[in-house]
C-alpha cells in the first residue's frame, strides 16, 4: 500500500503530479501529490486504523474508494520522477511493486 498526502497547489508544492477534478471522486480542486511525505506500508494497517476510528466514534480516518489502474500508474510513475521523494520510500515502493507484480 502506498500513501501520499494531497495538498492544495501552491508555489511550494511538488509540481510532479497535480491531480484535477475527475481524476478521483475525492479530488475537488487541483491537488499536488506530496511525494516528500510518501510512505509504503502493509495494507492491513488501513483496516486497523479504520477499526480504531470506529471504536472511538471519531471519523478521523475515512476510507475512500481505491484509485483506478490508470491513476495508480500515474502516481507510481510520479513517485519515481519526483525530486522530492525519499530514496528510502522509493526503495520500499520498488520492493512492493516487485513483490506484488
Tens digit of pLDDT for each residue in 60-94? 777 788 889 999 999 999 999 999 999 999 999 99
Question: What pLDDT, on the 0 to 100 scale, is given for residue 40?
Answer: 77
Prediction pTM value: 0.82
Q: Is the pLDDT of residue 99 over 80?
A: yes
* HEC string for the chain: CEECCEEECCCCCCCCCEECCCCCCCCCCCEEECHHHCEECCCHHHHHHHHHHHHCCCCCCCCCCCCCHHHHHHHHHHHHHCCCCCHHHHHHHHHHHHHHC
Q: Where are the domains of the chain?
A: 2-100
Question: What pLDDT, on the 0 to 100 scale, is given for residue 50?
Answer: 79
Q: Is the pLDDT of residue 3 over 90?
A: no
Segment 24-37 mean pLDDT? 94
Given a contact cutoff of 8 angstroms between Cβ atoms, the answer to whether 85 and 35 are in contact is yes
Amino acid at each position: 500500500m502506498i500513501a501520499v498526502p494531497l495538498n492544495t497547489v501552491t508555489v511550494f508544492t511538488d509540481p510532479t503530479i497535480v491531480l484535477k477534478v475527475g481524476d478521483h471522486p475525492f479530488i475537488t480542486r487541483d491537488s499536488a501529490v506530496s511525494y516528500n511525505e510518501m510512505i509504503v506500508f502493509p495494507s492491513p494497517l488501513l483496516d486497523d486504523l479504520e477499526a480504531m476510528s470506529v471504536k472511538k466514534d471519531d471519523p478521523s480516518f475515512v476510507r475512500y474508494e481505491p484509485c483506478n489502474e490508470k491513476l495508480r500508474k500515474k502516481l507510481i510513475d510520479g513517485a519515481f520522477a519526483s525530486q522530492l521523494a525519499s530514496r528510502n520510500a522509493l526503495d520500499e515502493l520498488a520492493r512492493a511493486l516487485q513483490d506484488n507484480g
